[in-house]
Amino acid sequence: MNGADIGFVLICAALVFFMTPGLACFYGGLVRKKNAVNTMMTSIFIIGTGIVMWVLFGYSLAFAPTDNGIIGDFRWLGLEGVALDAGYSEAHTIPNMVFSAFQMMFAVITPALITGAVAGRMKFKSLFVFIVLWSIVVYYPLAHMVWATNGILGLEGLGALDFAGGDVVHISSGVSALVLCILLGKRRDYDHAAYRIHNIPFVMLGASLLMFGWFGFNAGSALAANGSAAHAFMTTAVSAAAALLSWMLCDIIKNKKPTLVGACTGIVAGLVGITPGAGFVPVWAAVIIGLTTSPVCYLMISFGKKKFGFDDALDAFSCHGTGGIWGGLLTGIFASEAIGGYDGAIFGDWAQLGAQALGIIVTIAVAVVGTLVCYGLTRLVTGKIRVSDKEEVLGLDITQHGESAYPSFNGLE
């Protein structure tokens, strides 16, 4: 065991935890005043459910080594037997307990990403049940398939590269968000032209907190205080910066003016795009990934939603799903053996691009089927999932929580 690595990964785990309150601020600023409390609550409650579930059985299901390559067994229930003096694998220089703590924060932030797609129209009790089920049916199996020993999609299986969560975190949550928002239907007054973001400074604060935590998210995935962590740190910063600039350019081309909300969304898009390849691609490739991820996500938000007619309220699929897919494919193109041990198509190994594409397809399939199953089970448990028209008009802050983000405000915006 290495003390420096242990300290580094624990700090990174705390940074990843900080992303969930950051997401609450980001999402909370994007919705109307009457839904701010509810939207933030849908991120915050997962701190409770995600951590408790992870300790009781989630880590065991996600990472306990098995021969099936799909899901773990129950050997580590309650974290019993999770070592304090030995690593998850022989290659790790941190205790298994530290690895579990780091991964626990991923299990918290990932389902929270889904909630943005259904903001303003889903009953809180139904969302609570859905998130619990989704973590079991979708997240834990995908984490095992990609990152666990003998996982069928990871380096010991198919060989798909996912440094910090392109498949496991962003594509899974983004695709599930798309399916869930389609099942729920559009908001009753869904109209892009009339929709008003209620707190842009909050959006900027949330995006900044997300980027701050994302350095732990990506650099910490090296699982050691080494050159790989430094490289992932740099590619993360570069991709986010490039994506911010390209989103501003998209705003100028379409609307003749750059926007703060657009710049913040660009940061998030760039962070999503680099996540699967942060420790595998050169720094110059991170510039390309950031510059191209923003236009791809921008097109999905500006044209894709209208073309296909889905109400992804806060663009969970348009940013995380679309950006994750794009970043995963570009990882298969730009990966370099000199950096992360694997070459992509540009360095002569086209098979890696195929492995990335197949890994993405499997992830999408698991997310779609898993979301349908969880939706059906949630309806059995809670009944009607969507709030009534009256509750939607009044706002979910009052109808679901009896609170108001702005008690002196009297209105329905």
Confidence label for 407 from pLDDT (cuts 50, 70 and 90)? confident
- What is the share, in percent, of the chain residues with pLDDT greater than 90? 93
Does residue 328 have a pLDDT over 60? yes
Does residue 174 have a pLDDT over 60? yes
Cα 164 off chain centre by:
10
Nearest to 219, CA basis, from 242, 206, 238: 238
CA distance 211 to 15: 10
Q: Which tokens go with 343?
A: 């070459």
Burial class (CB in 10 A: 0-12, 13-18, 19+), 249: middle
Fold of 3-401: Ammonium transporter fold (1.10.3430)
- What is the share, in percent, of the chain residues with pLDDT greater than 70? 97
Using one digit for the tens of pLDDT, what is the confidence trace for 28-82? Answer: 999 999 999 999 999 999 999 999 999 999 999 999 999 999 999 999 999 999 9
Where do the domains of the chain lie?
3-401
Using one digit for the tens of pLDDT, what is the confidence trace for 341-368? Answer: 999 999 999 999 999 999 999 999 999 9
DSSP annotation of 386 reads B
| Global pTM value | 0.95
CA distance 172 to 165: 9
Using one digit for the tens of pLDDT, what is the confidence trace for 370-384? Answer: 999 999 999 999 999
Confidence label for 188 from pLDDT (cuts 50, 70 and 90)? confident
Does residue 239 have a pLDDT over 90? yes
Q: Let me know: does 108 contact 50? Beta carbons within 8 Å.
A: yes
Does residue 189 have a pLDDT over 90? no
Confidence label for 269 from pLDDT (cuts 50, 70 and 90)? very high
Average pLDDT over residues 244-249: 98
The per-residue pLDDT for 410 is 57
Q: Which tokens go with 327?
A: 């970043």
Nearest to 261, CA basis, from 250, 272, 274: 250
CA distance 185 to 188: 9
CA distance 382 to 130: 10
Burial class (CB in 10 A: 0-12, 13-18, 19+), 381: middle
Maximum alpha-carbon separation in the chain: 63
Return phi, psi of residue 386, to 5°.
-90, 145
The per-residue pLDDT for 193 is 47
For residue 37, CA distances in Å to 125, 281, 385 come to 15, 39, 19
Using one digit for the tens of pLDDT, what is the confidence trace for 215-225? Answer: 999 999 999 99
The per-residue pLDDT for 280 is 98
Q: Which tokens go with 239?
A: 């991709």
Confidence label for 413 from pLDDT (cuts 50, 70 and 90)? low
Does residue 411 have a pLDDT over 90? no
For residue 234, CA distances in Å to 25, 278, 281, 287, 307 come to 25, 8, 11, 11, 36
For residue 27, CA distances in Å to 205, 232, 237, 406 come to 11, 26, 22, 16
